[in-house]
Structure 1
Amino acid sequence: MNPQAAALTVAEQYLIQQDWAAYTPEQHAVWAELVRRRMPQLNEHACAEYLDGFHQIGLREDSIPNLAEVNKRLGPRTGWNATPVSGFLPPDAFFEMLATRQFPTTTWLRSRDSLEYTPEPDIFHDVFGHVPMHAHPVFADFLQEYGRVCAGLKDSAGGTASARGTYKDKLEQMGRLFWFTVEFGVIRQNGRIKLYGSGLISSHGESEYVISGHGPEIRDFNLDQVLDQQFLVSEMQKVLYAVESFDQIFEAAKQAEERLA
């Protein structure tokens, strides 16, 4: 059992075990096809930290990840753990897990007829898309800080209707920070736009839209703009925010706490 799980209270009820032996040859073949479809593009357009993390945590092209094996390699690097959960988590459980360096990880895999898109996260999105970045120390610190800040928003909220409304507004703003970094983050490296957000990493179409040069407007990362930037999950993004380094988003999480306190 993950020793960090002992620190969980709200999220504990959502934890499960990954039954890796139960995956079928067809499911491993679907994973292999998904990885093979993504890696040529990512080798050219993903950020260096993602590609390094992919190899550091031992992801393979030919088989679905065994989370226990991934965590044996990930934990010593940054203290993070890909923790199996039953599905979508409520916000307080999600933030609690991030604050204790546990990433909620679904264990089901999309079917072959949904290779391009699935409406809810699966193990390909969660592990292939997210977890390699958790091997990078600064990004790892940012993600934990994000969870801590979001958890603190609820702790500081009162019980009145006005306080609940204010908490909801602040949570929406922090959700935008997550969206434009963890999910749809881009970074400038060697004069080029590189991908690091999981929504881009795990989707060929979303990535192609960004790197084609005819896609979203790429703005310099600005925390105030990000916190106010509206987006729709059902369409290609109109605006993305490029950072110069991952220290920038770590500092942004701390600054967001000051702005929303």
Structure 2
Amino acid sequence: PARHATTKNARYKIHGVKNSSSEILVTIDQSQQKNSWVSLGVFDFEKDAINVGVVFLNDLTGERDLTIAFDAMRWRQILDTPIGDGNGNVPAYAGDGYDSPIGTEAERRGTKVWPGSWLDASPFGRLYFVGTPSEAYHTGADLNLPQDADRGKPVYACASGEVVFASRLPTWGNVVVIRHDPLVTNGKVMYSRSAHVGDMLVQVGDRVERGQQISTVSNAFGRWAYHLHFDLSPTTILESHPEHWPGKDRDATFLHYVDPKDFILANRPRS
């Protein structure tokens, strides 16, 4: 409902989540949404709790001259149980799967990765810039549309999670790193890096949902051709070192990164 929702700080309080002594707070930037269902996350409920499954939306955003929208809520059952830490502790948030970070909504929901006319100019693990000082194994995908048609195209969160870095870096330009929620199917936590981007729409600490726009495709302030550098890491390297680049260290490349195309294909949402 973007016509009547301009708040960046709509605060939803979810009651009855297992292993939580109080309601779970989820903040949604309503100004970025329009005529679509927005996920608050994946939760495991305590069936006998008071007000279990009840969601309150407080009109207390701390903003001036902005509006908030109230609308229907719906729950959808997920048959898998989120994986905990082995001690009965289940995470408050869990991810329902991964989409491509680019493409229209219909394309991202489709089966093709990469979607539409998007191409990967430098696939994962490929040695490129061969014979130059920049020779390196590629850590992810360089996603392009022909003839700079990708310039300014939206970049989306590939899965739900929390922004842990959003700033400019030497060589990289603007970079957004997201620590994604544990997958509901296997508990795996991944980090995504979207680099060379423009118009960063998120900041550190923001929660994002799968399919939420976080930035636009750019060129690192003129350093590179227009494209999105996108990689996925199963380690914490991008949280501690968002600029990380293993160069010609093949072992480090395959330790800290996975093929993003293969990972997304293996972990698609059920709907």
Name the TM-score, length of structure 1 as normaliser. Answer: 0.27
**Higher strand residue share:** 2
Higher helix share: 1
Larger-Rg structure: 2
